[in-house]
Amino acid sequence: MWPLRIVRIADRSMEPTIKDGSFVLATFSFFCIRLGDVVLLRHPSSEMLIIKRVLRISDGMVWVEGDNNKESSDSRKFGWINSKYIAGKVLMRF
């Protein structure tokens, strides 16, 4: 398995940081998530891969939100999620 992957971003909730249709280079796993990191994670109920920014961390749980608050469905909706759902950390965007 490749240690890194390229993922295409669909939709606008991480704008202006990451634009709809752009690509990111991300890890397949994570070792140390810090506040402010942009991460890929599996949605707790749909298993869909989503991209959000980590705004709070507490006891293995993370609070994530999109940068574009008006068009993001995130922890404000599904609450704190277990860090096990994090599927990688975004290293670079194109």
Partner 1 sequence: MTSIRTTVNSILNAADRIFKFEVAYAHCDVPCGIYDPHAAQLSAHTVIRMDMLIADLSKQQNPTAEDRNKMIRCVQIKEQHAEICKSEVRIIWGDYFKPEHIKANPELNELVWNIMHAASKAKQTVDIKNGEELLANVNRFAEIFWKTKGVETKRAKSFYPTEREMVFPKV
Q: Answer whether 67's CB lies under 8 Å from 16's CB.
A: yes
Determine, following the binding rule CB under 8 A, whether residue 86 of this chain makes contact with partner 1.
Answer: no
Q: How many CA atoms lie within 13 A of 63 on its CB side?
A: 8
Rounded to whole angstroms, how far apart are CA atoms 84 and 94?
A: 26
In the complex, minimum distance from the CB of residue 44 to partner 1, in angstroms, rounded to a whole number: 9
If one asks whether residue 2 binds partner 1 (CB under 8 A), the answer comes out as no
**Contact footprint for partner 1 (CB under 8 A):** 5-15, 18, 20, 22-24, 40, 43, 45-46, 48-52, 66, 68, 71-74, 77-78, 94
